[in-house]
Amino acid sequence: MHIKTAPLLAALVALGFLLVAYALPPDTRLSMAALSLGSGAVALVMMAAASVLGARWPVVESGFGGLDRVYETHKWLGVWALVFASVHLLFKAGMPDWETAAIIELPASTTRLVRQMSYVGLVVIVVLALNRRIPYRNWRWWHKLSGPLFLVVVLHWLSFKTPIPLGSPAGVWLAGASALGIAGALYKLVLYPFVSRHAAYRVTDVVPGPSAVRLVMSPVGGGIPHRAGQFAFISFSAHGLREPHPFTIASAGAATGPVQFVIRALGDYTDRLVREVRPGMTAEVHAPFGRFERPRHAVREVWVAGGVGLSPFIAWLDDPAAGHFDRVTLFNFQTPGRGFPANEDVAAMAQRRGVDYVPMSTAVDAPAFRQLFAALVERAGPAGLQVCFCGPRGLLDGVRQAMALHQVPPANIRFESFDFR
């Protein structure tokens, strides 16, 4: 059982308003002032939670079932923090009969400036995060300001004249959330480059393909152990390629051995990487991340790859410790002329492990796929069929439609999303 976005958001909202209401006089708990105060408290805690999720702590990733799920929740925490902060700004969070006091006394002008800075900063961070037209290299540096921004938000709470004493349940809750949020921000901004799991690697081989490359990288010193299906953030030392980007590790092996990545030119960064990467280049690799794993109990496994989404399945085929390949069918959807690795290479890997390999050059709603998928469901039964998917969103939607058509439970699909913004 993993933490889900919607239940977490609902729990934070409910707990926040309940604790704030408990601290207020009973006859004011349903007032607009109480709504504003509760909204401010919820916004602060959501920002703290977003800071914790952004730190990439392994225990947090395990709780959510993968870093992709962590970042999905991280995004929605920021969006809803802005919503509740807007409510807090619109309505006055005070009433004449409330006994209020600031935890830290600041001049009135400073308190007002801190309040305005915290809201404007939150608006800027969230809007930039949601604007997909802003290049990642620019967005990344702006997003680093979310840590200092959270310190400003905490200072706003501490200098705000509030009816919530620091020693009350709501005060302790806000203080604890603030401490965790500050710890997460400091870890990510200051400590992460030094204490996170990372190692230096050198590119030892570059195999070109149609708008893609396969990289073989060997550890310079000690490498990083990983499980087949996980991914890494790679930052090359070459000018213009230093931005860390996530790529699935397309191999399985020990920490001392080389790792492989299949990278397709899909944007500004990957276009340049495919053009300029050369043997001898060094890179810093932060890994491993992700919880994309094969189902342990399945009558039949269906692997669906789209484009460069073939990478985790290559790693699974490469895993010498894996078994039960006789129950696997791999559908490889590739645009004609752009398949990489080549179909014959993937077919050879699948044959060695006893996997049924089905190359697909048509859409997922084509009769060829639908008929084969229906036959697999009939053999395994809807509940016994488990789908593992890696590819573009449109292909995922088509696979889900095929599952629904044949009454395969929606929970019987595993996938990761690399849409981290």
Q: How far apart are CA 100 and CA 166, in angstroms?
A: 11
| 39-60 residue pLDDT tens | 999 999 999 999 999 999 999 9
CB 161 within 8 A of CB 101: yes
Which helix or strand (DSSP H or E) is residue 159 part of?
A: helix 146-159
Residue 66 is predicted with a pLDDT of: 93
Task: Output the CA torsion 116→121→127→129 (10° steps).
Answer: -160
Distance from the first to the final alpha carbon of the chain: 25
Helix axes 108-130, 67-90, angle to 10 degrees: 140
Nearest 5 degrees, angle CA 205-CA 211-CA 212?
35
* pLDDT exceeds cutoff 60 at 400: yes
* pLDDT exceeds cutoff 90 at 339: no
One-letter amino acid of 294:
R
Residue 421 is predicted with a pLDDT of: 57
* pLDDT exceeds cutoff 70 at 420: no
Q: 107: cis peptide before it, omega within 30°?
A: no
| 257-297 residue pLDDT tens | 899 999 999 888 999 999 999 999 999 999 999 999 999 99
The answer for residues whose C-beta is within 8 angstroms of residue 417's C-beta and 6 or more apart is: 68, 72
CA dist 30 → 81, 380, 402 (Å)? 21, 55, 48
CB 331 within 8 A of CB 305: yes
Q: How far apart are CA 398 and CA 33, in angstroms?
A: 48
Helix axes 32-53, 169-186, angle to 10 degrees: 30
Q: Say what percent of the chain tops pLDDT 90.
A: 80
Residue 325 is predicted with a pLDDT of: 97
* pLDDT exceeds cutoff 90 at 139: no
Helix axes 146-159, 169-186, angle to 10 degrees: 160
Domain boundaries, the chain: 5-195, 198-289, 300-415
| 166-214 residue pLDDT tens | 999 999 999 999 999 999 999 999 999 899 999 999 999 999 999 999 9
Query: What order do you get walking across the sheet with 282-289 strand by strand?
Result: 245-248, 231-236, 282-289, 198-209, 212-219, 259-264
> CATH topology of 198-289 equal to that of 300-415?
no
Sign of CA dihedral 279, 285, 290, 295: positive
* pLDDT exceeds cutoff 90 at 140: no
Residue 197 is predicted with a pLDDT of: 93
Which fold does the domain 198-289 belong to in CATH?
Elongation Factor Tu (Ef-tu); domain 3 (2.40.30)
Residue 130 is predicted with a pLDDT of: 80
Residue 79 is predicted with a pLDDT of: 94
Residue 30 is predicted with a pLDDT of: 95
Strand residue runs (E) in 220-347: 231-236, 245-248, 259-264, 282-289, 300-306, 328-333
Q: For 204-211, which contacts have Cβ atoms below 8 Å and span 24 or more sequence positions?
A: 204/258, 204/279, 205/279, 206/277, 206/278, 206/279, 209/340, 209/341, 209/342, 210/337, 210/338, 210/339, 210/340, 211/264, 211/265, 211/274, 211/338
C-alpha count within 13 angstroms, C-beta hemisphere, residue 179: 6
Residue that the structure tokens 């809807």 belong to: 382
Structure tokens at 257: 């051995």
* CATH architecture of the domain with residue range 300-415: 3-Layer(aba) Sandwich (3.40)
Banded model confidence at residue 358, pLDDT cuts 50, 70, 90: very high
| 23-44 residue pLDDT tens | 999 999 999 999 999 999 999 9
Q: How far apart are CA 320 and CA 362, in angstroms?
A: 32
Please give the mean pLDDT across all residues of the chain. Answer: 93
* pLDDT exceeds cutoff 90 at 311: yes
| 384-398 residue pLDDT tens | 999 999 999 999 999
Residue 1 is predicted with a pLDDT of: 80
Residue 419 is predicted with a pLDDT of: 66
Q: Which of 75, 69, 90, 81 is nearest to 3 (CA)?
A: 69
| 244-261 residue pLDDT tens | 999 999 999 777 789 999
Q: Which of 412 and 368 is assigned the larger pLDDT?
A: 412
Average of per-residue pLDDT across 113-132: 85
